[in-house]
Amino acid sequence: MTSALFMQLVQEVGILGGLLVVGFFLRAKIKFFQNLFLPASVIGGFLGLLLVPILLKNYAVLPIPESFLRDFSLIPGILILPIIASVPLGLGLGVQEGPIAGKKKNHVVPMFLLGTGCAFGLFALGFATKIVFSWWMPELQIYPAFGMELALGFFGGHGTAGLVGNILQKLNLPYWEVAQGVAVTSATVGLVCGIVFGMIFINIAARKNQIKNLTHPGNLPEEMRKGYQTRMDKQVLTCRETTHSSSVDSLAFHVAIIFMVCGISYVLVGFLKAHHIPLLSNIAEWAYAIAIMLMVNWMLKRLNLSFLIDIKIKTKFTSLLVDFSIVAAIASLPVEAVLKYAIPMSVMFVLGIILVYLIIMVLGMHLFQDYKFERAIALFGQSTGVIMTGILLLRICDSDMETPVLKDFSISYALATMLCYALLLPVIKLLPNSGAIFCLTLGVCTFCLVGAVIHSKFFLKETRG
């Protein structure tokens, strides 16, 4: 990298950082953003979209060069690799997860199966929408990957939207940027709908006395709405110092492991492609990164080095990457190209919300043995936004986290994320065949939901009150 390119990178990150900071202060001051609990990264991203030349053309407030905007669109696809690679790190190692004693452990399985089933139900619904509109409105010329953005946007959120662009760009498909834009739109719609409908469901459940630790859902802490805590004695310490700073900073150590795994995966893919090894050379770097990180995690456990990993440090670093990915993805959204698919997108999003409601809030409420609503609302937030949406809605119901739901939810989310990434590879291979990909994703959805019902009937039966 030349000094000019490095300076351009610093300038681009500076612009994204500025948008993120402004988004934070807008969230802190404007009630509308507070009521929707919109993250500062989303606010900053849309602010950038309004101010840069994409929408305002020659009247842009921020006349950012076209080269910067092209780089912004690439950033989510680049940062998604360390984000995904970090997922297995620390699973089963830290004291944070702890053992789940007795009968409570059973609830991880139905939460995992419902979350995974809902994700693949969204995949199936997305591809079904593509099939129908390709037949009904052939003039749209819908691209082959249309539909996968529903699940990756709803279940994965804005950060995973970069995965769409990364996958399609690696396949040299020209519509990768449009698909990434549709995924960002999907993530935004899911996030807003998840919070709005989640709050409606919480208010209804509170009036029906379905929430054990909540009677007045409107009384939310002001700092939760505004996005900051003014009292220093109330500010949470987020991580452990697992290494001594005289050797290496704890954050640097965790980041080094993540980037080391990313580097190995890049080298491995390069080697496989250079030697034209069939099948293996076509697998993306992020898939190898997950497998390698699983091995690293296993080695740490076998060598009794679990104390070196703190999941909260890892999460803080990946959250940083996600925030910058979101700002970059939204600020570079190809609005005109995305609006071409406004009708099928609108239908897909409406049906997606209905599907999540039926699977999580209807079926899920019948399967859980205790804290039914709390478990369902956490999964609802996860399936329409990201894990933080689920945690936010759960915190409203259980502000002091006195229930075991958060622990069960966190483990089920990690397992569901791992499985979805693993099954994403065969889904990608079937992109040209809409019928086959619809059958595959619908089959996985059905298998998971039937499994959740069977587990509830036979394994939770003994503990039902």
Which pLDDT score is estimated for 344?
A: 93
Which pLDDT score is estimated for 252?
A: 94
User: In the chain, what is the straight-line distance between the N-terminal and C-terminal CA atoms, in Å?
Assistant: 64
pLDDT at 60 over 70: no
**Is residue 357 very low, low, confident or very high in pLDDT (cuts 50, 70, 90)?**
very high
- Reduced to 3 states, what is the DSSP secondary structure of residue 398? coil
| % of the chain at pLDDT higher than 90 | 26
Average pLDDT rounded to a whole number, residues 334-342: 83
| Cβ neighbours of residue 167 closer than 8 Å, sequence gap 6 or more | 176, 284, 428
Helices in 227-356 by DSSP H: which ranges?
250-274, 285-302, 311-331, 335-339, 342-356
**Is residue 248 very low, low, confident or very high in pLDDT (cuts 50, 70, 90)?**
very high
Q: Hey, how many other C-beta atoms are within 10 angstroms of the C-beta on 254?
A: 27
| Cβ neighbours of residue 422 closer than 8 Å, sequence gap 6 or more | 287, 290
The amino acid present at 316, given as its one-letter code, is: K
Which pLDDT score is estimated for 464?
A: 44
User: Nearest CA to 269 among 283, 255, 249?
Assistant: 283
Average pLDDT rounded to a whole number, residues 82-110: 66
294 compared with 222, residue with greater pLDDT: 294
Measure the CA–CA gap between 436 and 312, rounded to whole angstroms: 40
- Report pLDDT digits (tens) over 415-457: 888 788 777 777 777 777 778 889 989 999 999 999 999 988 8
The amino acid present at 387, given as its one-letter code, is: I
CB 152 within 8 A of CB 163: yes
CA 266 to chain centre: 23
Average pLDDT rounded to a whole number, residues 379-383: 90
Which pLDDT score is estimated for 55?
A: 57
Which pLDDT score is estimated for 99?
A: 38
Among the residue ranges 173-187, 208-222, 288-302, 388-402, the one predicted with the least confidence is 208-222
Which pLDDT score is estimated for 216?
A: 56
The single residue listed with the structure tokens 């220093």 is 232
Measure the CA–CA gap between 325 and 256, rounded to whole angstroms: 20
Query: How high is the mean pLDDT of the chain?
Result: 83
Helices in 137-248 by DSSP H: which ranges?
148-154, 157-170, 176-207, 222-226
| Cβ neighbours of residue 385 closer than 8 Å, sequence gap 6 or more | 154, 157, 187, 190, 191, 194, 195
Among the residue ranges 100-109, 121-130, 451-460, the one predicted with the least confidence is 100-109
CA dist 419 → 120, 168, 281, 349, 415 (Å): 11, 20, 21, 23, 6
Average pLDDT rounded to a whole number, residues 129-158: 87
Measure the CA–CA gap between 29 and 74, rounded to whole angstroms: 31
From its phi and psi, is residue 241 left (phi > 0), alpha (psi between -120 and 50) or beta?
beta
Helix 176-207 to helix 66-85 angle (10° resolution) is: 60
Measure the CA–CA gap between 160 and 83, rounded to whole angstroms: 9
Which pLDDT score is estimated for 371?
A: 85
The amino acid present at 11, given as its one-letter code, is: Q
Q: Domain spans of the chain?
A: 3-221+247-463
Among the residue ranges 127-131, 134-138, 398-402, the one predicted with the least confidence is 398-402
| Cβ neighbours of residue 373 closer than 8 Å, sequence gap 6 or more | 205, 210, 211, 365, 397
Q: pTM value?
A: 0.77
163 compared with 218, residue with greater pLDDT: 163
Q: Which two tokens stand for residue 49?
A: 């979209």
Measure the CA–CA gap between 365 and 243, rounded to whole angstroms: 44
**Is residue 354 very low, low, confident or very high in pLDDT (cuts 50, 70, 90)?**
very high
User: Nearest CA to 123 among 414, 438, 432, 435?
Assistant: 438
| Cβ neighbours of residue 416 closer than 8 Å, sequence gap 6 or more | 112, 115, 116, 119
**Is residue 21 very low, low, confident or very high in pLDDT (cuts 50, 70, 90)?**
very high
